[in-house]
Structure 1
Amino acid sequence: MTASTMDSCQFFRAWIRNPFRVASITPSGTALSDLIVREIGPETGRVIELGPGTGVFTRALLRRGVAEENIVLVEQGPEFAGLLRQRFPKAAIVCTDAAKIARFCAEPAGAAISGLPLLSMRPEKVFAILAGTFARLDGDAALYQFTYGARCPVPRIVLDRLDLKAVRIGGTLRNVPPAFVYRISRKR
């Protein structure tokens, strides 16, 4: 069995156990991975990844030249956290709810990417995740969030309360299901 097939099986099992925590039955594809990290590179410095799952986006960060030791993986699922420790031993791996990120990531980061299913979360939870993430991001840093929906997965009220803006930077039909990526950043 290939690593890709094993990842798909593990993702499907996690989805069966908790479909609201794992919003897809399969890991994201290469087209989406490349799209979500296309504005990130070695010059970005530290990168926080929320909900890395099996590490598809993590591998895309490495392909872009981000050093493994500059990646912080925040994964709530212990089944995925264990797998990430094996695959990315130099990355910092935090097994916790992303809403608690401000407690666990001390150093500032130059970017964050998110594979979290924000559309299935209450606005209060999305607020906590974004507030904690932006508390750990440098002034000009952005959070890159993907969604299967037709619009930004962060409610307007959350963006406004945190003084953030969201811009769709692209989409891909070569993902199952098709997906869009938003850059969320502080308003100037």
Structure 2
Amino acid sequence: MRFLIVIIASILAGCSTISNEISAFQKSRIEVIERENYTPRSEEGRLHSHIERLARQLFDTANAIDLNRPVIVGTFLPAKSLQAETNDSIQPYGLQLQESFATFSTQAGLKVIEYKALSSVHVTPNADIMLSRDIQQLSQRVQAEYLLTGTYIQQENSLIVNVRLINILDQSLIAAATDYLPMNSMWSHSKVRTKDQQLYRGEY
């Protein structure tokens, strides 16, 4: 009788093992099906937090930054051309990278110079303007010892961003960092797609 009980117990254990394997297989099948229909999770509205991660990486690698020396932050540009293209649909990323790094650099204690600041406030019916891109209205002399700028390279669903802090006196790199930004960090995945190296946004 003991022998029979052992056999039955072994069979039941075997059935349990098979059942577990089937369950695991079915679960893996579900995961495969889900991945086949996978779309990147929305990163919309998180661009600034992604840039913060890049900024932390930059400042963690910095060598001997003198916080009393002025720094100016430039627009991030395509690595290939190093020029701002008027029809470049990714340009908003470069502009926001500049703005966010100005914020994080100031918060880190650097002496950031806002070279686009006007010498006086321009009051208009719709706005009180304190910044300008008109070089005729800006100071022709900007004193700075550091440049903070960077480049980006487009991938299908992300940008590889390279940022560097440069000593103007000898063009040496004080700090550098590289990371990626999801393309849907500024617009949702359903609203943005890439084709032929161009960024397209759908209707909202």
> TM-score normalized by structure 1?
0.26
Normalized per residue, the structure richer in strand is: 2
- Indicate the structure (1 or 2) with the bigger Cα radius of gyration: 2
> TM-score normalized by structure 2?
0.25
